[in-house]
A and B are shown apart, each in its own frame.
Chain A
Amino acid sequence: MHAPALPFTKQTLANGLDVIVHEDHHVPIVAVNVWYHVGSKNERPGMTGFAHLFEHLMFEGSEHHNSGYFPPLQQAGALLNGSTNTDRTNYWEVVPTSAIDLALWMESDRMGYLLPALTRERFETQRDVVLNERRQNYENRPYGLSLMAILSALYPPDHPYHWMTIGAAEDIKAMQLEAVQEFFRTYYGPANASLVIGGDVETARAFELANHYFGDLPSGTRPAPVAASAELRGERRLLLEDRVELPRLYMAWHSPAMFADGDAEMDLLADLLANGKTSRLYRALVYEQRIALDVSAYQNSRELESFFLLVATAAPGRPLTDLAAVIDTTLQDVVASGPTDSEMERSEAQAEAHFMYRLQTVGGFGGKSDQLNAYNVLVGDPAYFDRDIERYRRATRKSVRDAASEHLRFDRRVLLSVVPKGQAALALPGSEAVAVS
């Protein structure tokens, strides 16, 4: 038994808050990272976009610091941010060691005392900011609405992954302050949260501080887990006209949930198919036949279930049917014979390196503190890092082939053609127009 790559100590406070401490004294900084186990999957149809809008409100002040969240922390030299996805919402600060108390005070105040500071005016302004974010990142961006169309097709309307985390514009506009308050009471208590303190701090001191700042907050509830499932019963062909120059083809499949059997294999398949010039699809579509401008593949790992996405943009004048034919042949090959030994060796080398690179930063998105929280919240075990990498070491030609054969089926997938406005004929034959906005 060798030392863990990402060592930590964990305690749970009396109010249910998980506290995890990781020491790293290379740079005099401390990372504070809080995960709330709530995301857009906890929303309901008609009220989408809620979890994300709420994240914005967490930066507008709390009862005992009733003004912007940023100024005192920036004054202390902090970097800070937050994000929301389908499964969780995270918040973090990276502060100089000297400002650890400040960061914990601020995080604990908004965990315990947000609502007294939440005015209608702040709420309405952030609602406008989010509508701007939506226009900037989705509506005004080429191909920006594609994922919306795919999710709508992969999941039925009442499935919690049917909608995007940003939410529907009309839902955002219709949101009421009272519902926001209810959302906070339901999901934002210590019992539904996990705190990591990482970096230049002694473990005992970190626990003392965690208890000092968070220990007296009322526990709140731990909401029941969300359960849902979805399956495709055939191939669905969709068409979306967008303000784009070049047609693009998306293929999407249901795939195993994050950390479930087959999840790592799907990740390796994504590499094998479309990561780098050596990958099978890049080589065929972009390098040799030059019928595509780019190709990418991604196992989008999520808590309830995942989806595997393949995306290729046609070179000018090249029909999407040509791209689809090459992709299908390549998939058939992988399903028939799996990866080669050489491909497996290459993937393994990349996986080993990427796990090492992940140990370089203590804070921020994807830093060590964020990973410890991910493992704690989604697997219930912060020590999962070493088991996580084991999943990739254990993968074999056969297990990757099996995953491809089980999940990348032609008769259970969504094919979306995104084509320039007015050129619906460029879509794959038999595609049905979808309306998203």
Chain B
Amino acid sequence: MIYADRTRLPAVGADPAFSFPAIVRHTLANGLQVRTVEHQSVPVVSFVLLIEGGSGADPSDREGLVAVTADMVDEGTGSLSAIDVSDALARLGAEYDVDVSPDATIFTLTTLARFAERGASLFARMVGQPSLLDADFDRVRQLRLDRLKQLKDLPPAVAERAFLRLLYEHHPYGHLPIGNDAALRAMALDEVAACHGAAFDPASSTLVVTGAMAHDELLRVANDAFGGWTSHDGAGTVSTVAADITPPAAAQARLAVVPRERAAQSELRIGHLSARRDTPDYASLVVMNAILGGQFVSRINLKLREEKGYTYGARSGFDWRRGIAPFVMQASVHTAATADAVRESLNELEGLRGSRPPTDREMSLARASLTRGYPRNFETAQQVARSVAQLALYRLPDTYFQEFMPKVNAVTADDVIRVAERWLDPARVTALIVGDHSAIADSLGSIGLGEPQLLPHEST
């Protein structure tokens, strides 16, 4: 036996060939866009339904309406009560969930292939004809009000809420999908019904079906279940303007604190509004972010975690949407290290824009980690269906997956510097700290962002 040569790391071979899933598009008679993808591994089928309108479609005095409406989808349909729906899903061994994002609402149902027809049929009835009963609405709303109360104790949730409001102010993207207490209390069931009628329209929705069946079989399952879905009054009138409304521009860099006495750590959010998902600079921004804070071996994490020991982990990213999205660096840091951690983060932001441009090694690592690992995102039917739904959400071509790797591999260090200069701007950054204000107050001056604005604990 010849044992390993430990004087050098083994070479990595040529990237293995991988065929990205072929997407076939169909349109049902009711206008529903269907995309089928064959996925041959385990006998499982996944349905992902994308409905236009997310939290950005909430009326300004009814923040949380779209999320409540989405929540009502599994609360009963036809003769089935909420309990019956839950029971039926369980008997199919189905996994069901819903994700309300700023621009769209995405439902996922995964089931065993042998239950594909039954699962699809139940799913179609749930989304198309929810019962929308008073008692269920009242319970769902109360659970959300109680959940809001609980979120006040959760530092990351407090930070998310306050940060969105600081960045977007009263723009439709300026709130969390769960909304706020006053809006939930004021909400009426007929508003939910109207929201459902406007948004849940086959003609503006997309269904992705992925599983171990041929395209025509997948289409047949979709058509049998969703072909009878009809529009309600007001269909297609859900507001999708959020993406086109220009959010406020921060005039200058600022510091804000949500005081949380005796907090064991400080929750940090540092960033500003930046680019749209459809920017031509997308690939360069993804590489830039990988270097700055998008992976374990990124500047922010290596600095704050591996060098300083301030945190369990620090990262950065774009919270993408169709309209202008935030770029944010985030970490939960030891209280005593708060000001230092903010300063070091800002320093990394500044550095990447010129004084410390990306090295060849960083460029190569970022590109490789983004592209070489890409095929593993297509292992399960649900992963594939969700990825294809993202293409529908951002109106990307069906060739997107094939094109992603070459596009990322073409990004140069100059591209990264250029997009960092264009899309990152320390001069208008907002730094938010949710933490023990009395313990950190004296150190905040050292950050150089002036006097902090103190925000009430519940700022909306």
Cβ of A97 and Cβ of B16 under 8 Å apart? yes
CA distance A128 to B313 in the complex (A): 12
Cβ of A276 and Cβ of B305 under 8 Å apart? no
Q: How would residues 170 to 197 of chain B score, 1 for a CB under 8 Å from any chain A CB and 0 otherwise?
A: 0000000000000000000000000000
Cβ of B6 and Cβ of A362 under 8 Å apart? no
Cβ of A140 and Cβ of B149 under 8 Å apart? no
Cβ of A135 and Cβ of B265 under 8 Å apart? yes
How many A residues, CB 8 Å from partner? 83
Cβ of B146 and Cβ of A96 under 8 Å apart? no
Q: How would residues 337 to 361 of chain B score, 1 for a CB under 8 Å from any chain A CB and 0 otherwise?
A: 0000000000000000000000000
Q: How would residues 53 to 75 of chain A score, 1 for a CB under 8 Å from any chain B CB and 0 otherwise?
A: 00000000001110010111011
Cβ of B17 and Cβ of A28 under 8 Å apart? yes
The interface residues of chain B lying within 8 Å CB-to-CB of A70 are 296-297
Q: Is the C-beta of B228 less than 8 angstroms from some C-beta in chain A?
A: no
Q: Is the C-beta of B398 less than 8 angstroms from some C-beta in chain A?
A: no
Cβ of A276 and Cβ of B10 under 8 Å apart? no
CA distance A328 to B374 in the complex (A): 50
Complex interface residues of chain B between 64 and 113 (CB less than 8 A to chain A): 82-83, 85-87, 89-95, 110-112
Cβ of A74 and Cβ of B94 under 8 Å apart? no
Q: How would residues 123 to 164 of chain B score, 1 for a CB under 8 Å from any chain A CB and 0 otherwise?
A: 000000000000000010011001101101111000000000
CA distance A200 to B17 in the complex (A): 12
How many B residues, CB 8 Å from partner? 78
Cβ of B376 and Cβ of A278 under 8 Å apart? no
User: Assuming the A-B contacts A72-B9, A102-B10, A293-B147, are A350 and B18 also in contact, with contact meaning beta carbons closer than 8 angstroms in the complex?
Assistant: no
Closest to B261 in A: A243
Q: Is the C-beta of B263 less than 8 angstroms from some C-beta in chain A?
A: yes
Q: How far is the CB of A325 from chain B (nearest CB, A)?
A: 20
The interface residues of chain B lying within 8 Å CB-to-CB of A356 are 42-44, 93, 112
The interface residues of chain B lying within 8 Å CB-to-CB of A200 are 16
Q: Is the C-beta of A26 less than 8 angstroms from some C-beta in chain B?
A: yes
The interface residues of chain B lying within 8 Å CB-to-CB of A220 are none
Cβ of B155 and Cβ of A27 under 8 Å apart? no
Q: Which of A113, A286, A360 has the most CB of B within 10 A?
A: A360
Q: How far is the CB of B172 from chain A (nearest CB, A)?
A: 28
Q: Is the C-beta of B251 less than 8 angstroms from some C-beta in chain A?
A: no
Q: How far is the CB of B15 from chain A (nearest CB, A)?
A: 6
Cβ of B373 and Cβ of A26 under 8 Å apart? no
In addition to A28-B375, A101-B12, A356-B93, 20 A-B residue pairs with Cβ atoms within 8 Å of each other are A27-B379, A68-B306, A74-B365, A75-B364, A96-B16, A98-B12, A109-B6, A126-B309, A132-B265, A136-B265, A140-B332, A213-B3, A215-B3, A276-B86, A283-B83, A287-B139, A293-B150, A353-B94, A357-B42, A360-B381
The 10 closest A-B pairs by CB, nearest first: A353-B93, A77-B372, A128-B309, A28-B16, A98-B13, A277-B86, A101-B10, A77-B373, A133-B312, A139-B264
Chain A interfacial positions (CB closer than 8 Å to B): 24, 26-29, 63-65, 68, 70-72, 74-79, 94, 96-99, 101-102, 105-106, 108-109, 113, 124-133, 135-137, 139-142, 200, 211-213, 215-216, 243-246, 275-278, 283, 286-287, 290, 293, 313, 315-316, 345-346, 349-350, 352-354, 356-357, 359-363
Chain B interfacial positions (CB closer than 8 Å to A): 1-4, 6-7, 9-18, 40-44, 82-83, 85-87, 89-95, 110-112, 139, 142-143, 146-147, 149-150, 152-155, 263-265, 295-297, 305-312, 332-334, 364-365, 368-369, 371-376, 378-381
